[in-house]
Chain A
Amino acid sequence: MSPNLILVLLISPLVGFLINGLFGKWLKGNEKLSGGIGALAVLVSLICSISAFISVKNGNPLEGDAGHLYSWIVSGAFIAGGPFEVNIGFHVDALTTVMLLVITGVGFLIHVYSIGYMHGDEGYTRYFAYLNLFVFAMLILVLGNNYLMMFVGWEGVGLCSYLLIGFWYEKQSATDAGKKAFIVNRIGDFGFLLGMFTLFAAFGSLDFVSIFDKAEAGTIEIVFGETTKATLMVATLLLFVGAIGKSAQLPLYVWLPDAMEGPTPVSALIHAATMVTAGVYMIARSAILYNLAETGAVVAWIGVLTALFAAIIALKQNDIKRILAYSTVSQLGYMFVGVGVGAYASGIFHLVTHAFFKGLMFLTAGSVMHAMANELDIRKMGGLRNKLPITHATFLVGALAIAGAPFLSGFWSKDEILHSAWDSFPFIYIIGLVTAFLTAFYMFRLIFVTFYGESRVEPEVASHLHESPAVMWLPLAILAVPSALIGLLLGVGGHNSWFHHFTEDVFPKAHEASGSVLLFMAISSVVGIAGIAYAWKRYKDRAPSAEPTNTLQKVVANKFYVDEVYNTFIVQPIKGASHFLLWKLFDSGIIDGIVNGVAALIRVIGGMLRRLQTGIVQAYIVSMVIGIVLFLAYYLFFT
């Protein structure tokens, strides 16, 4: 595979961004052209991705020197290991191509969907410019062959996420949500930066290949403790802090539910399918380090606790997009369990299936909103399946997949993760199973309340209920196919499945999970179906009650008051300190004091000196003559 292919793949969305970004004023009148350019740019990337995938599948990856483009940062030898050098280069192996296909495949469909969804929006071209920029940044993130390039992409997608969450910037809540996402992500990014510094101090390089080689060989500049392992523990945990921020895990998940303020296709692409999975990708990419450092247990525990926590919150939400958002947080937790217990391929497999079915569900939610004049409250829906048959069918496929209904995609990937967790972490397995039950329950609560039972739609909205146009439902239909079938295609056979074979060169060998695969599958299926059945029993013909009835429900409905706790104990103290210490004392007092003091001093001196300016010409001349005489005297008599 030649780097040129990857270059085309990468540059194409950038070109799309530039066209829509720079010439948006002229494209504004022609939505089809603007959206078409955006979608076409990603289509080109998709075609290149497929080509790259075929190359890798034929045993022809792009690694090491072959992927090197040029040296980006070169400095003198200020560290023992030699000069500091960061290259711009590509690393395309099985893991990369999987990510590429997800990003460009799901991305393309979401671009097409957006052409219809954003119809008539004031910022139509701006939207497609941002979306293309996001795809470009995400591609950098997965294509780079070193941590710094990954970080560039990491920040790039964070920027685009901010821009798109706050896309409707006239809305106060949207701009607030954008800022919240950006600031919370900064906390994680700080950890990521420190992790990179640690790796650089330890290995004198940021290249994946050279770091992994040195880590395995144990050749390392010692920075923490006496051993490679201690250093790697620090580095991997710091990198994981970055992943916690970007992938919305405990305790930094709070930004993701608020991010639903953005347009729905953005939620599907960025906050479900691609960007939030960057943390999982990063850990899978650093699999060798995590295995050597044995920090996977931390990752897995954070993951499973997040999965449970978010699933509990999702039980009592009534906003269709927020339920999906908490579900995303929860499913990301599963992925971290996967990569945490060392089953990297399973974690990435779940990433892929989740990208399809969660992307699908967000788009269907968008379709519901489109039909319902942007209504989000599921209590005001009900009985929609007759009016929106395609939306209903595709949503059902996605929900069945996430609930772990037998033979759909989520069933295979979730089961693999839980099965891998069983041997070393039985508690994680049990919590994961409980979460699976909750997942099935809240998802079908959403379905039954939204699509079944009596219609609670307000009359004037009901008269406009309509199925979405083809440009919107076609992507739904296309996405529904892999959501249903990709597990059957890639995941059958557990550790002998196609997906595991494809990625076996990338990841360290996971130990074979013990126990009968069929037994585990049976347990998962029963749990999933039980969740669906319980939801059917409770919600098949009634809406969720408007008010929580007891304290526990109230706490859950208010999301455990996490936002309030953060606000009281973190945000307000920092704001207070900023207000009084930084602004009133330091800025107003000290900085302004110095500036104003200098000005006052100059004014006093000037007031004294102005008396010299008499305005009488001859006074000036006298002083000039005296000066000349003095100079002449000096030269005549003293030199």
Chain B
Amino acid sequence: MALQYYLILSALLFTIGVIGVLVRRNAIIIFMCIELMLNAANLAFVAISRNLGTAEGQLFVFFVMAVAAAEVAIGLAIIVSVFKHRETINVDEVNSLKG
């Protein structure tokens, strides 16, 4: 299959992720959308790697996945502790850094 389909799919997934981050208010949904963006990037990596016949792109995917796993661990921990503290995970209500 041609490369551009993969890239179009990747761009679509990424855009969905961005919009989700921008418009949703639930921290967990936002978090999932960030994961979506990361995986959109992964898809682009893999597609181009295969197209070029080299391994570096696939290598990077592993890095991204490892970092994403770490990020999930920390992010969820933060969300849990925010919830314990405020009994909400609505990001609009977590605004004590307001200037």
Asked if A and B bind, the verdict is: yes
Is A625's CB under 8 angstroms from B22's CB? yes
* Stretch in contact with the other chain, from B1-9, B62-70, B91-99: B91-99
Is B18's CB under 8 angstroms from A613's CB? no
Residues facing B in A598-639 (CB within 8 A) are 609-618, 621-622, 625
Residues of B within 8 A of A609 (CB): 99
Residues facing B in A85-141 (CB within 8 A) are none
Smallest Cβ-Cβ distance to A612: which chain B residue: B99
The smallest C-beta distance from A553 to any residue of chain B, in angstroms, reads 80
Smallest Cβ-Cβ distance to A620: which chain B residue: B97
- Range of interface residues on chain B? 10 to 19
Is B97's CB under 8 angstroms from A615's CB? yes
Is B98's CB under 8 angstroms from A615's CB? yes
Q: Once the chains are docked, how many angstroms separate the CA of A622 from the CA of B23?
A: 10
Is A613's CB under 8 angstroms from B97's CB? yes
Contact partner, A613, options B23, B94, B99, Cβ 8 Å:
B99
Residues of A within 8 A of B18 (CB): 625
Is A615's CB under 8 angstroms from B21's CB? no
Q: Once the chains are docked, how many angstroms separate the CA of A616 from the CA of B22?
A: 11
Is A621's CB under 8 angstroms from B22's CB? yes
- Can you list, as one digit per residue, whether each of B49-92 has a CB less than 8 Å from chain A (1) or not (0)? 00000000000000000000000000000000000000000011
Residues of A within 8 A of B25 (CB): 618
Residues of A within 8 A of B23 (CB): 618
Smallest Cβ-Cβ distance to B91: which chain A residue: A617
Query: Given A621-B22, A622-B22, are A616 and B91 neighbors across the interface (CB < 8 Å)?
Result: yes
Contact partner, A616, options B21, B30, B95, Cβ 8 Å:
B95
Q: Once the chains are docked, how many angstroms separate the CA of A610 from the CA of B96?
A: 13
The smallest C-beta distance from B66 to any residue of chain A, in angstroms, reads 24
Instruction: Give the interface centre of A612, A616, A625 by most chain B CB atoms within 10 Å.
Output: A616
Q: Once the chains are docked, how many angstroms separate the CA of A165 from the CA of B77?
A: 70
Q: Once the chains are docked, how many angstroms separate the CA of A3 from the CA of B30?
A: 84
Residues of A within 8 A of B22 (CB): 618, 621-622, 625
Q: Once the chains are docked, how many angstroms separate the CA of A622 from the CA of B18?
A: 9
Q: Once the chains are docked, how many angstroms separate the CA of A610 from the CA of B99?
A: 5
Is A618's CB under 8 angstroms from B98's CB? no
Residues of A within 8 A of B99 (CB): 609-615
Residues facing B in A369-383 (CB within 8 A) are none
The smallest C-beta distance from B74 to any residue of chain A, in angstroms, reads 16
The smallest C-beta distance from B71 to any residue of chain A, in angstroms, reads 16
The smallest C-beta distance from B9 to any residue of chain A, in angstroms, reads 19
Residues of B within 8 A of A614 (CB): 95, 98-99
Instruction: Give the interface centre of A613, A614, A617 by most chain B CB atoms within 10 Å.
Output: A617
Smallest Cβ-Cβ distance to A622: which chain B residue: B22
Residues of B within 8 A of A611 (CB): 99
Contact partner, A621, options B21, B95, B98, Cβ 8 Å:
B21
Q: Once the chains are docked, how many angstroms separate the CA of A612 from the CA of B23?
A: 19
The smallest C-beta distance from B42 to any residue of chain A, in angstroms, reads 19
Residues of B within 8 A of A616 (CB): 91-92, 95
- Can you list, as one digit per residue, whether each of B6-25 has a CB less than 8 Å from chain A (1) or not (0)? 00000000000010011101
Residues of B within 8 A of A618 (CB): 21-23, 25, 91-92
Residues of B within 8 A of A625 (CB): 18, 22
Q: Once the chains are docked, how many angstroms separate the CA of A621 from the CA of B21?
A: 8
Q: Once the chains are docked, how many angstroms separate the CA of A616 from the CA of B95?
A: 6
The smallest C-beta distance from B94 to any residue of chain A, in angstroms, reads 8
The smallest C-beta distance from B48 to any residue of chain A, in angstroms, reads 18
The smallest C-beta distance from B90 to any residue of chain A, in angstroms, reads 11
Smallest Cβ-Cβ distance to B19: which chain A residue: A625
The smallest C-beta distance from A589 to any residue of chain B, in angstroms, reads 34
The smallest C-beta distance from B25 to any residue of chain A, in angstroms, reads 8
Q: Once the chains are docked, how many angstroms separate the CA of A613 from the CA of B97?
A: 7
Closest 8 CB pairs of A and B: A613-B99, A615-B98, A615-B95, A610-B99, A615-B97, A617-B91, A616-B95, A618-B22
Instruction: A617-B30, A625-B22 given; name 20 further pairs at CB < 8 Å.
Output: A609-B99, A610-B99, A612-B99, A613-B98, A614-B98, A614-B99, A615-B96, A615-B97, A615-B98, A616-B91, A616-B92, A616-B95, A617-B91, A617-B94, A618-B21, A618-B22, A618-B25, A618-B91, A621-B21, A622-B22
A-B contact pairs, 9 of them (CB 8 A): A613-B97, A615-B95, A615-B96, A615-B98, A616-B95, A617-B91, A618-B22, A621-B22, A625-B22
